[in-house]
Structure 1
């Protein structure tokens, strides 16, 4: 009897093992295929950036004209990276990344752009593995990762070398959450330390990770389900569980606080933060509400994307009220459905929370919003769609086919729009002309386009752009100084002097205007005026490049003139 039992059970047991192994292999094979598909679609769309140029908008600050980055990774440069707040940020990992690029590729933009593509692709894969680990929902996870890879709002972060910090930020963001998912499942201290380490590296890439501890708490709700409680549990037990989850994040919150303080200091040092006198408080609130709605709108319908959206002098009240109503309605719906559809609340508040540092309540720069700021936040919206649409379509005939076709249509449309948007980023002139077509009153872009046209040998076209910038803002010293430089190059010296003097009426401490005046006076054979301007430059900045040489030349010219008079 026992022998028969053994004989009959053994084949069944063996068959079960084989079937389980085959299922596991099929699952692994499918995951590999999905990963290869993500790599293929991301690289095929973004590979064209390998032929793009550096921009004169921040690429000069971060790479092409940065002497520390240009020398590559050296001991002094590593010290500089960890101690500098240049460009209004403390992000040593970003600086080291740019230095490594220069070490391997020099100043060839191709290598710098392709590293951006590689980082974007890696983040896409990590996001896929993160959602797969959290939910085991293969197709929803793949769809979210594919939308992250292909959405047109992400073009700015990938196609702009200066936005390397965005890509590193997202890489460490998703890696931190993947490690956190492992820690939440196994509660191993080593996984906790790895999670915290990844988080710190992310903060040293871009401080936008300061909101990540709050997103961890959202994931504790869904899909980790760490708030779960038994029916018979009392309020004390439930509060105890919540307290434990919050205490668990205290080191992360502490790092966020420190990073936030460092960032505010760095941006104040760089003069990037606008005071309430420049942009009043209520206008900031109005713009923040409008920006939230705009990000939501551009996620659903990505049109008129631009490298710079100027801050408006005022916002129509109907836009503000409309934006507020939309945000409140969705937020209320998210809270009311949190028990039945927790993914909706998690996705929505992921979007809301992660935009807080860049929504403009503390206004940094002159933009009202920026596509790059949506790089991580819109992932929350993709999660809402990926899990929400299948729930909404339950019971519909041919549901699976409809969902598959809809997903394919969304991805194909995103890929096509992204390909088109990438084309605008091929060089300065193409990007800025597109931006001026889709925005209004954008003097900073007029200025950048003028610089690009001048560099391309089109001085008259450059002057027209500077004049457009000055029509919008007559006190724009950058545009006026640049116009003086172009007039100087055209040998219209008196007109150039007039522009430089106008700059100094607006800002008497404008070093470049003093220096440029000195050059023209020296050319016109007026060493006394040239010496006066060069001395003022030295007073304002003793280390200003080449001014000591120019001063010596002017003094020599004066001495020669004095000797000739004798």
Structure 2
């Protein structure tokens, strides 16, 4: 008999996990969603490496207004193993959900000696459509992980109770898993109340001793709760300034409680967002007051029944305790209801449903049980289909936000987020602009649509328009670090370095964890020739991204400008050792080796830079269509010998973009012809700073120096020219002429 029982249990486990897995299988093909996934993963510097310092940061740095370091640690480990392949992140989510489903089977088996109730409770939990959000959404990992530790804590506490409290180690395990659950998501702080509920279910009472046993748990709950409230308030997640009264808040709590109850039985229609209602004067829509009445009636019903049916009491109280913190008594987030919040709490309702089917005391119990079982199986089949089908919405950011736009056609945030997806991930600028404009049409005060459209203009190098939109976004919602950062980029790319530094500094002030801001400000300090400040910012960035080769290169350039060549050598060699194949890095390395009089190595390194694609006659630059047209027009006028007009075109191009380095050499050549030699030399100097190995520029600068009578300087330039291009006959001829002139003197 025991062997047959074990075989039956094994079959039940296989059926349970297989059925649950099939319901959620489509999620493995899905992509990341730009609904927090980028912030948690790709843009999170704490995923960049695994070392003691980084682990300390993970446990001391909140992300998106939440303190959940276990999630950060798991993401960092996952990134180390599989990079950013979405399949593996979805796979781990599914595995965690299967583990939770199995743990619920174990928990109910220990709580109540009835395999049917345990199996169907776990199966309902495993396939319920509202749980798709937690499994399909990579950032929903926090719900999966905190529930995993939460249920383990409950199981070990049950063992502690059932083993006569002599096995104190089980109490210790329960406490450790509770702590891990809190560090995965602060919603776990309600566990002490759940443990008291288990005490009540097991002993029909709650004694003072049972309260005292929970003191260590309660202390942790208070600490984590206070930390989380402070973090969320600082991040603006708790929006106390919304225009809703205390009575409205109570009504929302009642409405959401009843809504979660109803969606357990009727899980449709579903949505990733449930927007707050619009008040008609002083009043909410009628449905909210109706559900408030239902809520009050439900409380009355509970007090009439709770002593008569222990299973009913346990199921309802478990549901209420585990969802009470997110019933919008306090306005947390922008969504009135979130399906992920029901992930753990629906365990209580699944338990209650299974008990109703298999512990019904009707005189026609057997027939009634069969009827209820048929209904339950039909419901499970429907729920499985709904869950399977729901994954289409979570396929990618396009399907996700499109579904929300179909549900809420005036939801400007959804238009903006879909626009950001089109702009950043599929590079469809036309669709992105349509969505940003649609978002602003739906809500002229949409800060997200303005910031998104600003990013569009930034990509299109329409910097004035980008700056205007970023400023409008900040007027609507101040303190957005990412918008300050983008505003800084717009100023930086338009050549307004001082303004860029100001905006990057603001971005850092509002979020010192967005470490890309330090890199951007470092670049701005570099352009402002404040090299030590640039090095400081690059060092901060490197402390979070130690494997980013180009930042070592930039830091090396700073040391070079400070003539600290040995420090420069160390950083540029580090950049090369970390795998960079950028030709500019090798060109700069060649220049540095030359300064250190390692000429043979310098020559070989320059040849490698050329092999990688380095163009010694040009320089890296950023320009848009307007500046390019001005440069081309200037070149045409130059060849037509209309030098004054050409000079104006070149100057206009540089006024528009001071980093269009090739225009400097064109303007310098024009100034040379106009015999404005010193101005020409100034432009050649700027150009050669960015194109050190351009032999033509050295040759032309030698002509300007001859014009000023600086024969020694001209000779140096010609020597440099011939070193880079020994076959340039006119340079050799001019050099010989200068040597004769010097000999005469």
> Which residue number corresponds to residue 170 of structure 1?
147
**Which stretches in structure 2 are left out of the alignment for 5+ residues?**
509-516, 530-656, 668-677, 684-745
Alignment of 1:225-304 (within 5 A): 225-227=203-205, 242-276=207-241, 279-304=244-269
Give the TM-score normalised by structure 2: 0.66
Alignment of 1:328-339 (within 5 A): 328-339=296-307
Is 1:87 paired with 2:64?
yes
Q: Report the alpha carbon displacement of residue 131 of structure 1 after superposing the two structures with TM.
A: 0.5
Rounded Cα–Cα distance in structure 2 between residues aligned with 1:392 and 1:438: 43
Rounded Cα–Cα distance in structure 2 between residues aligned with 1:33 and 1:100: 34
> Which residue number corresponds to residue 4 of structure 2?
26
Q: Report the alpha carbon displacement of residue 216 of structure 1 after superposing the two structures with TM.
A: 1.8
Of 371-380 and 401-410, deviating more is 401-410
Rounded Cα–Cα distance in structure 1 between residues aligned with 2:477 and 2:349: 46
Rounded Cα–Cα distance in structure 1 between residues aligned with 2:71 and 2:344: 17
- Contact 2:249-2:329 within 8 A present in 1 as well: yes
Alignment of 1:85-484 (within 5 A): 85-186=62-163, 187=165, 188-222=167-201, 224-227=202-205, 242-276=207-241, 279-314=244-279, 316=284, 318-390=286-358, 391=360, 394-395=363-364, 398-439=367-408, 441-454=410-423, 455-484=425-454
Against the structure 1 CA distance between its residues 74 and 342, is the aligned structure 2 distance closer, same or farther, given a 3 Å change threshold?
Answer: same
Against the structure 1 CA distance between its residues 512 and 83, is the aligned structure 2 distance closer, same or farther, given a 3 Å change threshold?
Answer: closer
Against the structure 1 CA distance between its residues 475 and 532, is the aligned structure 2 distance closer, same or farther, given a 3 Å change threshold?
Answer: farther
Q: Report the alpha carbon displacement of residue 47 of structure 1 after superposing the two structures with TM.
A: 2.3
Q: Deviations over 1:428-469 (max 9, x none)?
A: 101111122223542222221111122323223222222233
Against the structure 1 CA distance between its residues 27 and 537, is the aligned structure 2 distance closer, same or farther, given a 3 Å change threshold?
Answer: same
**Which stretches in structure 1 are left out of the alignment for 5+ residues?**
1-21, 228-240
Q: Deviations over 1:210-242 (max 9, x none)?
A: 1121122222222x2352xxxxxxxxxxxxx62
Q: Report the alpha carbon displacement of residue 520 of structure 1 after superposing the two structures with TM.
A: 5.3
Rounded Cα–Cα distance in structure 1 between residues aligned with 2:483 and 2:21: 45
Q: Deviations over 1:334-358 (max 9, x none)?
A: 3222233111121112112211111
Q: Report the alpha carbon displacement of residue 313 of structure 1 after superposing the two structures with TM.
A: 3.3
- Contact 2:316-2:349 within 8 A present in 1 as well: yes
Give the TM-score normalised by structure 1: 0.86
Against the structure 1 CA distance between its residues 510 and 344, is the aligned structure 2 distance closer, same or farther, given a 3 Å change threshold?
Answer: closer
Is 1:76 paired with 2:53?
yes
Against the structure 1 CA distance between its residues 381 and 563, is the aligned structure 2 distance closer, same or farther, given a 3 Å change threshold?
Answer: farther
> Greater CA radius of gyration, 1 or 2?
2
- Contact 1:86-1:270 within 8 A present in 2 as well: no
> Which residue number corresponds to residue 502 of structure 1?
472
Against the structure 1 CA distance between its residues 368 and 513, is the aligned structure 2 distance closer, same or farther, given a 3 Å change threshold?
Answer: closer
Is 1:540 paired with 2:506?
yes
- Contact 1:63-1:70 within 8 A present in 2 as well: no
Q: Report the alpha carbon displacement of residue 111 of structure 1 after superposing the two structures with TM.
A: 0.7
- Contact 1:534-1:551 within 8 A present in 2 as well: no
- Contact 2:492-2:500 within 8 A present in 1 as well: no
Rounded Cα–Cα distance in structure 2 between residues aligned with 1:303 and 1:549: 51
Rounded Cα–Cα distance in structure 2 between residues aligned with 1:415 and 1:352: 25
Q: Deviations over 1:285-337 (max 9, x none)?
A: 22222111211121111112122222233363532332223223333323222
- Contact 1:287-1:360 within 8 A present in 2 as well: yes
Q: Secondary structure at the match of 2:364?
A: coil
Q: Report the alpha carbon displacement of residue 491 of structure 1 after superposing the two structures with TM.
A: 5.4
How many residues align structurally? 525
Against the structure 1 CA distance between its residues 510 and 332, is the aligned structure 2 distance closer, same or farther, given a 3 Å change threshold?
Answer: closer
- Contact 1:511-1:537 within 8 A present in 2 as well: no
Structure with higher RCO (Cα < 8 A, 6+ apart): 1
State the superposition RMSD in angstroms.
2.7
Q: Report the alpha carbon displacement of residue 262 of structure 1 after superposing the two structures with TM.
A: 1.0
> Which residue number corresponds to residue 485 of structure 1?
455
